[in-house]
Amino acid sequence: MTRTGADYVWFEDDFPDLAEAYCFTLVRGLSPTELLSRLDGRPEAPLRGMAAVVDAAFAYDEPERGERQLVATTTVGAWTLLIEPNGYLGVTEERAVPASAGTCWVSHFLNVNGLGTFLWAEDQVLRLCFDPMYPDERWGTTPDELLDAMKQTGFHFEEQAPQTDLSSPAAFALAEHLTGTAITPTLLQDTLFTCATVRSR
Protein backbone atom coordinates (compact mmCIF):
# COMPACT_ATOMS: atom_id res chain seq x y z
CA MET A 1 0.00 0.00 0.00
CA THR A 2 1.34 3.42 -0.97
CA ARG A 3 1.93 5.71 1.98
CA THR A 4 0.49 9.19 1.76
CA GLY A 5 1.12 12.64 3.14
CA ALA A 6 -1.27 11.81 5.98
CA ASP A 7 1.30 9.27 7.21
CA TYR A 8 3.84 12.07 7.68
CA VAL A 9 1.80 14.74 9.46
CA TRP A 10 3.67 13.79 12.65
CA PHE A 11 6.79 15.53 11.33
CA GLU A 12 5.56 19.08 11.88
CA ASP A 13 4.08 18.19 15.27
CA ASP A 14 7.09 16.26 16.60
CA PHE A 15 9.89 18.33 15.07
CA PRO A 16 8.53 21.89 14.75
CA ASP A 17 11.93 23.62 14.69
CA LEU A 18 13.19 21.45 11.83
CA ALA A 19 9.85 21.46 10.02
CA GLU A 20 10.05 25.23 9.51
CA ALA A 21 12.93 24.87 7.04
CA TYR A 22 14.67 21.66 5.99
CA CYS A 23 16.08 19.53 3.21
CA PHE A 24 15.97 15.70 3.33
CA THR A 25 18.03 13.76 0.80
CA LEU A 26 18.34 10.00 0.24
CA VAL A 27 21.27 8.67 -1.81
CA ARG A 28 21.53 5.01 -2.77
CA GLY A 29 24.65 2.90 -2.25
CA LEU A 30 26.99 5.51 -0.80
CA SER A 31 28.12 5.53 2.81
CA PRO A 32 27.77 8.76 4.79
CA THR A 33 31.53 9.26 4.45
CA GLU A 34 31.42 8.76 0.67
CA LEU A 35 28.48 11.12 0.27
CA LEU A 36 30.08 13.82 2.41
CA SER A 37 33.27 13.44 0.41
CA ARG A 38 31.34 14.21 -2.79
CA LEU A 39 30.05 17.35 -1.10
CA ASP A 40 33.49 18.38 0.20
CA GLY A 41 32.32 17.87 3.77
CA ARG A 42 34.47 18.70 6.78
CA PRO A 43 33.89 16.24 9.65
CA GLU A 44 32.28 17.49 12.85
CA ALA A 45 31.48 15.70 16.10
CA PRO A 46 28.60 13.21 15.83
CA LEU A 47 25.30 14.22 17.40
CA ARG A 48 22.46 12.08 18.74
CA GLY A 49 18.93 13.07 17.82
CA MET A 50 17.58 15.72 15.53
CA ALA A 51 17.05 18.25 18.33
CA ALA A 52 20.80 18.33 18.95
CA VAL A 53 21.49 18.59 15.22
CA VAL A 54 19.10 21.53 14.80
CA ASP A 55 20.58 23.33 17.82
CA ALA A 56 24.11 22.83 16.51
CA ALA A 57 23.18 23.91 13.00
CA PHE A 58 21.75 27.21 14.18
CA ALA A 59 24.58 27.78 16.67
CA TYR A 60 27.25 27.05 14.07
CA ASP A 61 29.58 30.05 14.05
CA GLU A 62 32.99 30.60 12.57
CA PRO A 63 34.58 33.10 10.16
CA GLU A 64 33.12 31.22 7.20
CA ARG A 65 29.58 31.32 8.56
CA GLY A 66 27.20 31.95 5.70
CA GLU A 67 29.38 29.92 3.36
CA ARG A 68 29.19 26.58 5.18
CA GLN A 69 26.40 24.78 6.99
CA LEU A 70 26.11 21.85 9.37
CA VAL A 71 24.50 18.68 7.99
CA ALA A 72 23.72 15.29 9.50
CA THR A 73 23.89 11.87 7.84
CA THR A 74 23.10 8.27 8.68
CA THR A 75 22.70 4.94 6.92
CA VAL A 76 19.14 3.66 6.41
CA GLY A 77 19.25 0.28 4.68
CA ALA A 78 20.92 0.68 1.29
CA TRP A 79 20.58 4.46 1.44
CA THR A 80 22.30 7.36 3.16
CA LEU A 81 20.04 10.03 4.60
CA LEU A 82 21.35 13.61 4.54
CA ILE A 83 19.46 16.18 6.62
CA GLU A 84 20.03 19.92 6.31
CA PRO A 85 18.35 22.16 8.90
CA ASN A 86 17.52 25.38 7.03
CA GLY A 87 19.49 24.18 3.99
CA TYR A 88 18.79 23.41 0.35
CA LEU A 89 21.93 21.84 -1.11
CA GLY A 90 20.08 18.59 -1.82
CA VAL A 91 17.71 20.28 -4.27
CA THR A 92 20.28 22.62 -5.85
CA GLU A 93 20.52 21.22 -9.37
CA GLU A 94 24.11 22.32 -10.01
CA ARG A 95 25.24 20.49 -6.84
CA ALA A 96 22.84 17.53 -6.65
CA VAL A 97 22.85 16.35 -10.26
CA PRO A 98 26.66 15.97 -10.53
CA ALA A 99 26.74 14.34 -7.07
CA SER A 100 24.25 11.70 -8.27
CA ALA A 101 26.91 10.05 -10.49
CA GLY A 102 26.44 6.30 -10.42
CA THR A 103 23.57 6.44 -7.95
CA CYS A 104 20.01 7.62 -7.27
CA TRP A 105 19.40 10.94 -5.50
CA VAL A 106 15.99 11.85 -4.06
CA SER A 107 15.61 15.13 -2.19
CA HIS A 108 12.90 17.48 -0.95
CA PHE A 109 13.09 20.90 0.65
CA LEU A 110 10.89 23.49 2.33
CA ASN A 111 11.80 26.98 3.54
CA VAL A 112 10.22 29.36 6.04
CA ASN A 113 8.24 31.06 3.26
CA GLY A 114 6.57 27.81 2.22
CA LEU A 115 8.59 27.48 -0.97
CA GLY A 116 9.58 23.91 -1.70
CA THR A 117 11.30 21.62 -4.20
CA PHE A 118 11.24 17.89 -4.90
CA LEU A 119 14.16 16.58 -6.95
CA TRP A 120 14.90 13.11 -8.35
CA ALA A 121 18.16 12.50 -10.21
CA GLU A 122 19.90 9.35 -11.41
CA ASP A 123 23.50 9.13 -12.59
CA GLN A 124 23.77 12.86 -13.35
CA VAL A 125 20.41 13.01 -15.12
CA LEU A 126 17.61 15.14 -13.65
CA ARG A 127 14.56 12.88 -13.89
CA LEU A 128 11.99 15.05 -12.11
CA CYS A 129 11.81 18.38 -10.33
CA PHE A 130 8.81 20.37 -9.07
CA ASP A 131 7.48 22.52 -6.25
CA PRO A 132 5.22 20.32 -4.06
CA MET A 133 2.71 23.17 -3.87
CA TYR A 134 2.48 23.28 -7.68
CA PRO A 135 2.81 19.68 -8.92
CA ASP A 136 1.36 20.55 -12.33
CA GLU A 137 4.58 22.41 -13.16
CA ARG A 138 7.21 19.69 -13.54
CA TRP A 139 10.45 19.38 -15.46
CA GLY A 140 13.20 16.82 -16.03
CA THR A 141 13.70 13.95 -18.48
CA THR A 142 10.76 11.91 -17.12
CA PRO A 143 8.39 14.49 -15.62
CA ASP A 144 5.31 12.25 -15.83
CA GLU A 145 6.74 8.89 -14.74
CA LEU A 146 5.64 9.36 -11.12
CA LEU A 147 2.34 11.06 -11.88
CA ASP A 148 0.18 8.23 -10.52
CA ALA A 149 2.33 7.96 -7.40
CA MET A 150 2.17 11.72 -6.91
CA LYS A 151 -1.62 11.60 -6.97
CA GLN A 152 -1.72 8.61 -4.61
CA THR A 153 0.67 10.17 -2.09
CA GLY A 154 -1.43 13.32 -1.78
CA PHE A 155 -0.29 16.06 -4.15
CA HIS A 156 -3.14 18.29 -5.24
CA PHE A 157 -3.57 18.76 -8.98
CA GLU A 158 -6.82 20.69 -9.06
CA GLU A 159 -7.22 24.43 -9.27
CA GLN A 160 -9.28 24.59 -6.10
CA ALA A 161 -7.08 24.49 -3.01
CA PRO A 162 -7.65 21.53 -0.67
CA GLN A 163 -9.05 22.08 2.82
CA THR A 164 -5.84 20.63 4.28
CA ASP A 165 -2.57 21.18 2.43
CA LEU A 166 -0.49 17.99 2.63
CA SER A 167 2.01 18.89 -0.09
CA SER A 168 5.03 18.91 2.24
CA PRO A 169 4.15 15.62 3.99
CA ALA A 170 3.39 14.16 0.55
CA ALA A 171 7.00 14.87 -0.45
CA PHE A 172 8.13 12.52 2.34
CA ALA A 173 5.69 9.88 1.07
CA LEU A 174 6.84 10.24 -2.55
CA ALA A 175 10.48 9.94 -1.46
CA GLU A 176 9.54 6.74 0.38
CA HIS A 177 7.79 5.45 -2.75
CA LEU A 178 10.95 6.03 -4.79
CA THR A 179 13.45 4.68 -2.27
CA GLY A 180 11.54 2.21 -0.13
CA THR A 181 12.95 4.09 2.86
CA ALA A 182 10.63 5.45 5.54
CA ILE A 183 11.52 8.40 7.75
CA THR A 184 10.22 7.73 11.27
CA PRO A 185 10.10 9.67 14.55
CA THR A 186 12.36 7.07 16.18
CA LEU A 187 14.94 7.45 13.42
CA LEU A 188 15.09 11.21 13.94
CA GLN A 189 15.00 11.08 17.73
CA ASP A 190 17.43 8.26 18.52
CA THR A 191 20.03 8.10 15.73
CA LEU A 192 23.66 9.04 16.31
CA PHE A 193 24.24 11.15 13.21
CA THR A 194 27.54 11.54 11.37
CA CYS A 195 27.91 15.31 11.02
CA ALA A 196 29.93 17.62 8.82
CA THR A 197 29.94 21.10 7.43
CA VAL A 198 29.49 21.60 3.69
CA ARG A 199 29.68 24.58 1.40
CA SER A 200 26.20 26.08 1.29
CA ARG A 201 26.55 27.93 -2.00
Read off the pLDDT of residues 132-146 as tens digits, 9 standing for 90 and up.
Answer: 999 999 999 999 999
Outline where DSSP puts E strands in 31-165. Answer: 42-48, 68-76, 79-85, 104-110, 116-122, 125-131, 134-139
Residue 162 pLDDT: 62
pLDDT at 62 over 60: no
The pTM (predicted TM-score) of the whole model is 0.94
**CA pair distance 143, 126, nearest whole angstrom:** 9
Read off the pLDDT of residues 139-170 as tens digits, 9 standing for 90 and up.
Answer: 999 999 999 999 999 998 876 566 677 899 99
